Amino acid sequence: MTTSVPDQVAVPAGARSRASAAGLTRLTSVGASSSENGSSRRTRKRLASHRVGCEGRIAHLKREYGGGRSRLKGEDGARIWASWTALAYNFDTVSRLLVKAGPQA
């Protein structure tokens, strides 16, 4: 099995730490020091817009499907809560597709 490794990553400036910076040394990252790593303006803009799109999807899941604060304790509880959020979203998506398709004869 082969593992794909990204060559670029979008990281919010507030989420950068020394440990994460050490792990991201070979990647082009967008964040507080993006101009220092030699990336072009086009690359920084593209990665930043990708990050913004992901944040919108996360906000939608939190708002519409209860994916905000977990009501269960611990890391396992958070994993279960996120799984239920994803399941609710998937059920909603499939039900909309079935309604859109109409009755099958």
- Is the same domain home to 20 and 40? yes
Q: What is the mean pLDDT of residues 34-44?
A: 66
Confidence at 32, pLDDT banded by 50, 70, 90: very low
- Is the same domain home to 23 and 58? yes
- Is the same domain home to 61 and 99? no
- Is the same domain home to 17 and 53? yes
- Is the same domain home to 58 and 72? no
Phi and psi at 60, nearest 5°, equal -65, -45
Q: What is the mean pLDDT of residues 23-46?
A: 62
Burial group, residue 53, by CB count within 10 angstroms (0-12, 13-18, 19+): exposed
- Is the same domain home to 31 and 50? yes
Confidence at 85, pLDDT banded by 50, 70, 90: very high
For residue 37, the enclosing domain spans: 8-65
pLDDT at 19: 65
Query: By three-state DSSP, how is residue 78 classified?
Result: helix
Could you give the number of structural domains in the chain? 2
Structure tokens that stand for 58 in this block: 């996360």
